[in-house]
Amino acid sequence: MGTPEKEAPRTVIPPRGGLMHVVDAAGYSLAGLRRLWAETAARLEIAGAVAVILAFLWRGVEPWHWLVAGALAGLVLATEAINTAIEVLTDRISPEWSQTAKDAKDLGSLAVGLMLLVFGGFFTLVMTRLI
């Protein structure tokens, strides 16, 4: 039986300025996207957005419907990313069960659920031609 591997200590690198700051920020965003893709919920939300695209193509909706749906899909994924960040941090600072940790995770989940309800409501209104 081997000994558990320890993670090598990491140092915090100070942020760079100017254009390199933008390049670094883009890299951090891509890393976040890769991490978000590891979440089943995010993959399901992306699959749902693809289903909306197909339904909109079938129905032949107005251009503004596409814009609103795109914005709502982006907000759903942004909310999912924040929820995932809350869960990761909560697990890190409170590995044992606590009511506070549960509340934090439940509130993050509520935020995602509310965004999904808004997107689903908009989708329903568009598909039934109420808007």
Catalytic residues: 80
Cα gap 69→117, rounded to integer Å: 13
Cα distance between residue 13 and residue 17, in whole Å: 12
Backbone torsions φ then ψ of 2, nearest 5 degrees = -85, 170
Judge whether 80 and 45 are in contact, CB under 8 Å. yes
Contacts of 79 (CB under 8 A, 6+ apart): 111, 112, 115
Task: Encode burial over 74-94: b for 16+ CB neighbours within 10 A, e otherwise.
Answer: eebbebbbebbebbeebeeee
